[in-house]
Structure 1
Amino acid sequence: MTPAETLVAAAPPPANPVTLEATYDPAPSRWLWLVKWLLALPHYLVLAALFVAFVVVTVIAWFAILITARYPRALFDFNVGVLRWSWRVSYYAYGTLGTDRYPPFSLAVVPDYPAHLDVAYPERLSRGLIFVKGWLLILPQWLLVSLLVGGSTSTGGVAALLTLYAGVALLFTGIYPRGMYDLNLGAHRWAARVVAYGALMTDVYPPFRLDQGEREPQ
């Protein structure tokens, strides 16, 4: 083994490239959450179309990775934008109820919005992994994510119960319980890592770990 190979072998595995964070608001509106299903409806309609495009882009990226070992940057940025948009809507509406600020209709980064999602662009991806990571390797993670957030919808599972309890707490106390908030963020963070891996956007396998709270662990 050459010195360079020794250094590579000794190097720690890369940190997870998926970043999901948010800013805690302890006292959103007591009642606005009751009508967010209506307010967020235009976003749901747009996201339905965007996720169809997300699947098509992922299929195209599969062939691109097979041939070039690279995820075309424009396609990658589009799919990250769809996940980013979806997270903002989920954070505003019934995935979290974390903010009363209406989400923007945008795939781009919005620095001053209280919910953020990003995926680091991989310079190269494994050709071999694309045959197994989207269904076989990710299967145990999908099962857990289905329990945590209801699968790819991000509005079910444990997160939905936490959101319901938080809404009731807001209605009667005006306070979003911090413990519920931190656990909810952890569930969505795990789900985002799994979706990005299953969509071929990274070769870093999601950890079986519930990282709670507003910020990614350092």
Structure 2
Amino acid sequence: MSMDTQRTPYPSVVVTARLDAPLSRWLWLVKWILAIPHWIVLVFLWIAFFFVTVIAFFAILFTERYPRGLFDFNLGVLRWSWRVSYYACGALGTDRYPPFSLGPHPDYPARLDVAYPKRLSRSLVLVKWWLLAIPQYLIIAFFTGGTRVSWWGGGLISLLAVIAGFAVMFTERYPKDLFALVVGLNRWVVRVAAYASLMTDAYPPFRLDQGGTEEPDGFL
């Protein structure tokens, strides 16, 4: 099998990011404070996300379908969380304040989409969110500093984001290789979040796909 074949994108979940330039040398120090209104809203959205996922579990078990309205809501929560993380603590890749919205906002530098599945496996829904996902949980716990996939806070990702912040402070540049790595780590977390919340049956690859796009050339 060729390397090009091995590097095909993971089609179910697409995470993209554009590095804005120039970035403020100092704004990154207070972005986490500026994002507090988002954190407050996201607390309630993630509570709702949990209950929506439980309802979807039973819907998939009996109908093999994820109700579209519930799917779109959970996708919106993931999008909102990714935008806030990209701005405030998980990447620091933009100074544009994230919108208070569940919608896609294609003009924002951080974007996320999950392909809506026409059918989902009844048998997989019983085990994928806990048993099958355990190896992935162990990996992203190192990335995020815990087992929660909703905040992308702490752990390796936040450490690298802080390093990037200091690089911007002293050089006015966000190192490109560091940006590619940070986005790749976040992409892995988002894929696991979508899988664990029953939005796809496609198992997340054990692969660090770096870079702001999902193109094969951006993969490691």
TM-score by length of 2: 0.91
Cα distance in 1, alignment partners of residues 64 and 9 from structure 2: 18
Aligned to 1:50: 45
Which residue type is aligned with residue 67 of structure 1? F
SS of the residue corresponding to residue 21 of structure 1 reads strand
Aligned to 1:121: 116
SS of the residue corresponding to residue 14 of structure 2 reads strand
SS of the residue corresponding to residue 16 of structure 2 reads strand
Residue 18, structure 1, aligned to residue 16, structure 2:
no
Unaligned ranges ≥5, structure 2: 1-7
Residue 149, structure 1, aligned to residue 144, structure 2:
yes
Aligned to 2:5: none
- Give the counterpart of 1:197 among 195, 198, 202: 195
Which residue type is aligned with residue 48 of structure 1? V
- Give the counterpart of 2:132 among 132, 137, 145: 137
Residue 166, structure 1, aligned to residue 161, structure 2:
no
User: Could you report, residue by residue, the CA deviation over 1:63-88 in whole angstroms, capped at 9, with x for unpaired residues?
Assistant: 00011000000000000000000000
Query: Residue 13 of structure 2 contacts residue 115 of structure 2 at CA under 8 Å; is this kept in 1?
Result: yes
Which residue type is aligned with residue 159 of structure 1? I
SS of the residue corresponding to residue 112 of structure 2 reads strand
Which residue type is aligned with residue 84 of structure 1? R
Query: Residue 88 of structure 1 contacts residue 103 of structure 1 at CA under 8 Å; is this kept in 2?
Result: yes
Q: CA RMSD in A?
A: 1.4
Which residue type is aligned with residue 119 of structure 2? R
Cα displacement (A) at 1:25: 2.3
Aligned to 1:75: 70
Aligned to 1:101: 96
Query: Residue 149 of structure 1 contacts residue 157 of structure 1 at CA under 8 Å; is this kept in 2?
Result: yes
Aligned to 2:26: 31
Cα distance in 2, alignment partners of residues 83 and 17 from structure 1: 14
Which residue type is aligned with residue 76 of structure 1? F
User: Could you report, residue by residue, the CA deviation over 1:45-77 in whole angstroms, capped at 9, with x for unpaired residues?
Assistant: 000100000000000000000110000000000
Cα distance in 2, alignment partners of residues 27 and 166 from structure 1: 13
Cα distance in 1, alignment partners of residues 53 and 116 from structure 2: 15
TM-score by length of 1: 0.91
Please say which of residues 62-71 and 145-154 is displaced more in the overlay.
145-154
Rg (Cα) greater in structure? 1
Query: Identity rate of aligned residues, in percent?
Result: 60
SS of the residue corresponding to residue 55 of structure 1 reads helix
Cα displacement (A) at 1:35: 1.0
Cα displacement (A) at 1:169: 0.9
User: Could you report, residue by residue, the CA deviation over 1:95-135 in whole angstroms, capped at 9, with x for unpaired residues?
Assistant: 11000000000000101111100100000000001111010
User: 4+ runs of 1 displaced by more than 2 Å?
Assistant: 13-16
Unaligned ranges ≥5, structure 1: 1-12
Query: Residue 20 of structure 2 contacts residue 95 of structure 2 at CA under 8 Å; is this kept in 1?
Result: no
Aligned to 2:4: none
Number of corresponding residues: 206
SS of the residue corresponding to residue 101 of structure 1 reads coil
Query: Residue 90 of structure 2 contacts residue 153 of structure 2 at CA under 8 Å; is this kept in 1?
Result: yes
Aligned to 1:179: 177
Query: Residue 14 of structure 1 contacts residue 204 of structure 1 at CA under 8 Å; is this kept in 2?
Result: no
